[in-house]
Structure 1
């Protein structure tokens, strides 16, 4: 058992003791998949904070189809290392996660799924742990494609994936299906095409799921259009390529009442449109990512293709507007858009290198250094942006630490005695997700030490503040660097 003495509850500042079993499998720095010991360990956790676990509704784990970049196992280990207890898997798997039965065994990625005994990507991912004989340290939901094959030509069919939603025929589902439901719709990597937008919005309306929209479309260009693109001699992407999708979908939300969530918003003009839509009372939410608040397109001159992404890094004025939108509440949550690629792929040059960077293992440190140390938001607000609001977008309630204390506290305790959250006691704990944070920690980002298979990040070598020290799901310590 691990006992943390004098740890602070994130939203009340109450000082408590936390007891956690350590007899399960956990991931540790330098000892991936190490077996927890059975001995009792007591640590003075003065200065540490206990908070609901981080949640990320925007990750790409490349499984099935591109596991040389990332797998469910490595991606979940990276998430646990970053303090995440819950993630939403985007549908740009290979084959795409569209609910369709795989009927071509020679299609890319098909053999991996079919050999598992299942014939849809959703079934494969829901049963991943049993198929591969692993225990993953993070909970995950699935996001279904808006279009068949993510090709943008024909909307997916509700009858092919409705059964995977929570609350639909639950009595006939096994435990894995109940644990990993479909909770959103997206063609992430591409905006929903105009030809099928109405059909996709109808799918969202009928199912009650949120449309998670990749709010960026361009046919040419590789980086943000401006002085940097001209200095690099690389075709530029105008900033209004994002606004066009945002404005289009705001109008559709007004017309249909469907909840639209905009991913990785990056421009001042888009934030202005979203701010106005929210003031109008429309069902609009949005996220941004750590790289848009920490970097501008000038980073391309230093980091090269490690700073190439979609949407592209924007101007310094847009970076400041992103921080302002976080500070004034326009931004509902922070998500990483964790996008693993090999370094060989990233070395192909601006025109050929794939878009995206990894972010799960340094997101909290980067955001804490830029937002909290910068004086823009508080520690508590950052936890809300990374824990509370992402969980709610995914349809889950974040863990209420104080409610756990009320439930677990011995009635015979003296009124003024310090309360104890004892996770070693038997009882219902399925929904618990917690992270232990050292908000004062200073550390250097080292991609070579990441649990992810990938190292494609511009943040390598950055000195940041704030670090997740332990991740807890249910009554299990799934990651520790204590």
Structure 2
């Protein structure tokens, strides 16, 4: 079975090239200026961008236990719609997959229901909120590619230290949601003028930065690959920058919403702007962009967090934290960063494909490599369109970007040479 992509603007070997791409038996087979393959099914890319499938290290698919928000099926379809062929699902489902049996059941469910590659985090501690560690080694052997308590900071320093030591022993990744619960103090919005104007309980940025500083010291001692989820403050970027300069094995991600919005964009009690960590100040947002530009920030991740409509229409005080994002991520970042000259298209694709795959040790994702699975997507960079919730394949439509005009529409997505969107 052969598939030939003609007239592609191909992101290949870190360059954007005018090339044809041949796929044989679901694997990348050949890249040339012109390829003739009489037996192949031909798709004319019409000079649109053809890129390795995008990689997202941070999504929430909600199944089992919260399927009114999202399912693995709808989440994977939404991912394919956004150009993603590999995603990494957080373990805050019900029940939390914190035993071998529950984790293996989750893997089976992912494999059965997902159209794309859905890798599974295991939690660091029992039920994600206790101080008791899971059986890290056995979960690793069972297929946990990384560990995270996302949604919850690990308050007990000894638990974090012990987890880091064990995960470091097999060169694994610990992905941390950095949040000191006491400093978070039931806040719903960033501490600043907007919080005061709306009369809402505020979140001190030290809730993020103080736990991050602690963890970086522990990561230095243990040598673990420590990954910072959804970094959001200027001080956090600076701490990671200093840690990298000191040789600490740290990586970090930023979301489109934290890099494109600030709390100045919140003009009313609209919970589509409520997320954790919260939208920070314009100074913080600018620092995140600078972190992308200088390499301190390693990748873009969506923190795709779908909720039912009635869970997001109750204002900041009562609504759930989080927004949906995997269907809008590329278009938003392309429109606001590449088209505005903040970074190159190749640089953005690195942050959304090759770098997350490389830093998380994925050999079959993020690049076009011969004899590897043909996961790729075709994207129209030229025609503008308006983000419309009616187009979403996710169950969640909770996005502050509804109605925004963007470029970068995903036309087709393929996994192992099979069209999934």
TM > 0.5 fold call:
yes
How far did 1:17 drift?
A: 2.5
State the alpha-carbon separation in 2 of the partners of residues 49 and 9 from structure 1.
6
TM-score by length of 2: 0.90
Q: 1:322 aligned to 288, 295, 302, which one?
A: 288
Aligned pair 1:477/2:419, yes or no? yes
Matches within 5 A, 1:176-191: 181-191=143-153
1:7 aligns with: 8
1:155 aligns with: 133
Distance 1:2 1:124, change over 3 A: same
1:222 aligns with: 188
Larger Rg: 1
How far did 1:9 drift?
A: 1.8
2:155 aligns with: 193
How far did 1:393 drift?
A: 3.0
Q: 1:465 aligned to 380, 391, 407, which one?
A: 407
Aligned pair 1:121/2:102, yes or no? yes
How far did 1:207 drift?
A: 3.5
Greater shift in the superposed pair: 384-393 or 2-11: 2-11
Residue-by-residue CA offset, 1:106-161 (whole Å, 9 max, x unaligned): xxxxxxxxxxxxxx33222222267x6x5x32101111101101123211123541
8 A contact 2:225–2:249 mirrored in 1:
yes
8 A contact 1:7–1:45 mirrored in 2:
yes
Distance 1:96 1:45, change over 3 A: same
Q: 1:373 aligned to 320, 339, 349, which one?
A: 339
1:260 aligns with: 226
8 A contact 1:152–1:193 mirrored in 2:
no
Distance 1:344 1:390, change over 3 A: same
Distance 1:315 1:194, change over 3 A: same
2:16 match: secondary structure: coil
Distance 1:250 1:159, change over 3 A: closer
8 A contact 1:3–1:20 mirrored in 2:
yes
2:63 match: secondary structure: coil
The number of aligned residues is 401
How far did 1:293 drift?
A: 1.0
Greater shift in the superposed pair: 139-148 or 2-11: 2-11
Greater shift in the superposed pair: 342-351 or 228-237: 342-351
State the alpha-carbon separation in 2 of the partners of residues 277 and 380 from structure 1.
26
1:410 aligns with: none
How far did 1:49 drift?
A: 1.7
How far did 1:432 drift?
A: 3.0
State the alpha-carbon separation in 1 of the partners of residues 137 and 231 from structure 2.
32
Q: Give the alignment's Cα RMSD to 1 decimal.
A: 2.2
State the alpha-carbon separation in 2 of the partners of residues 272 and 386 from structure 1.
22
Distance 1:330 1:70, change over 3 A: same
Distance 1:380 1:351, change over 3 A: same
2:206 aligns with: 240
Distance 1:51 1:303, change over 3 A: farther
8 A contact 2:92–2:151 mirrored in 1:
yes
**Unmatched tracts of structure 2, length 5 or more:** 27-38
State the alpha-carbon separation in 2 of the partners of residues 22 and 235 from structure 1.
56
